[in-house]
Amino acid sequence: MKIKKEEALFYHNGDSPGKLEIKPKKPFKTQRDLSLAYTPGVAFPCLEIKEDPIRSYDYTIRSNLVGVVTNGTAVLGLGDIGSLASKPVMEGKALLFKRFAGIDVFDIEIDEKDPDKFCEVVKKISPTFGAINLEDIKAPECFYIEKKLKEELDIPVMHDDQHGTAIVSAAALLNAIEITGKDISQIRLVINGAGAAAIACGRLYRKLGVKNIIMLDSKGVISKKRDDLPEHKKEFATDENIRSLKEAMYGADVFIGLSKGNILSKNMVLSMNEEPIIFALANPTPEIFPEDVYSVRDDAIVATGRSDYPNQINNVIAFPFIFRGALDTRAESINDQMILSAIRGIAELAKKEVPEEIKEIYESDLRFGRDYIIPKPFDHRLLIEVPVKVAEASLKLGVARVKDFDLERYREDLKKLSYELLSSFK
């Protein structure tokens, strides 16, 4: 789908600049409403919160508010365009949170590239929010920033550019492996790219049981023979005597592309093992187009980051619903077990029968198989299945602040929310 510049600019401006606005959700028509909303009535919840800070979740928007925070150093495919220029993207991220999970967002663009100073700013404003979504921060600083904020804050922190792609691709990978009948502990997996998303993918795949990972950066295979590797790449250094993507692909079972377009050749695809799994996720031009794969291999499973091909790996399948579950249990963090639970929830949903209304949206007979290994973004059941998995994990691990949390009632509440969102965004 091609978008023209004039069309995009009009969408963002039109009758009113931007994509967001703030609306009151309590009555505000009378003098009494004014007295309740502001002085003197507002003093009572203030004093309750002073006595017990957790009550802030009861009396303020904090219980449903995520801060989408960036410094604009790695914006989509635009690179380091600065904090102010990143604001349209952050507003777009806020819109996704609201549309798919009913979560409110304040987008915060911080003009600061120093990691420690950036963390200090986020730490100072964190009482405003129930969770922090870090966005579009370049590597390797993003690893340090996320780690430090997770250690210092008592609310969930997640850098979606790292974990979003990792979570969704991991769910798709589990299903693709099931279809091909491969053993996850025995596969050879090649990751082309070594940025934030690639590192997060590699780490997460290992947690799922993948043992043999070959990673490449712009200089070639990340090898133990190289002396130019930063710490975050050293953990993926191989002792195999290979240097190029061509050599890495020979006998590979899985290819994960997080690099640039048209870098994977048909001959490389031919050199892979039987029933190869190829996730070519560079956007808008993938490392290889699906039709090129199928022209030489009819046994492949292919995914891309594009919406005009089957099996789109899209972060929106994960982050709104993970934050939903974390917010609703008032979790102190988003940890590995919550993420792994989300992955399994996403993977399991793809195996369930797809309702007719979702098939109509995509004009396709969606059935679990090679062309449908991951749910579609507009599958409203994601809002039910994934938050429940995340909430359940947070309760079991003791990071939830809500006690006596009823998961069955929560599932029913999510069904109601799903219906409300479908109705309001028609």
Task: Write out the catalytic residue numbers.
Answer: 38, 93
Is 314 flagged in the annotation as binding? Answer: yes
Comparing CA positions, the residue from 319, 354, 353, 357 lying closest to residue 339 is: 319
**Contact (Cβ atoms closer than 8 angstroms) between residue 372 and residue 310:** yes
Give dist(CA 197, CA 168) in Å, integer.
Answer: 11
Q: Quick check: 299 and 273 in contact, CB under 8 A? A: no
- Show the tokens assigned to 133: 């979504």
Ramachandran assignment for 187, one of left (phi > 0), alpha (psi -120 to 50 degrees), beta (any other): beta
Q: Is 212 annotated as a binding residue?
A: no
Alpha-carbon distance 83 to 92, whole Å? 15
135 assigned to a ligand binding site:
yes
User: Under 8 Å CB-to-CB from 27, ≥6 apart: which residues?
Assistant: 33
List, edge to edge, every strand of the sheet that includes 65-70.
Answer: 104-109, 65-70, 131-134, 157-159
283 assigned to a ligand binding site: yes
Q: Any known ligand binding at 161?
A: yes
Instruction: Give CA–CA dist 46/54, Å, rounded.
Output: 12
Task: Residue count of the chain, please give it.
Answer: 426
Instruction: Transcribe 315-362 into DSSP letters.
Output: GGGTHHHHHHHHHHTT-S---HHHHHHHHHHHHHHHHSPPPHHHHHHH
421 Rama class: left (phi>0) / alpha (psi -120 to 50) / beta:
alpha
Asked whether the beta carbons of 280 and 257 are under 8 A apart, the reply is yes
Q: 35 is written with which tokens?
A: 């007295």
* Torsion angle defined by CA atoms of residues 359, 363, 369 and 372, in that order, rounded to the nearest 10 degrees: -90
For the packed helices 196-208 and 336-351, what is the interaxial angle rounded to 10 degrees? 80
Q: Hey, CA dihedral for 169, 171, 172, 174, is it positive or negative?
A: positive
Tokens 């986020």 belong to residue: 122
CA geometry: angle 201, 108, 199, nearest 5 deg:
10
User: For 222, what's the count of Cα atoms within 13 Å in the CB-facing half-sphere?
Assistant: 24
Residue ranges of the annotated binding site for (S)-malate are 283, 314
Residue ranges of the annotated binding site for a divalent metal cation are 135-136, 161
Residue ranges of the annotated binding site are 135-136, 161, 283, 314
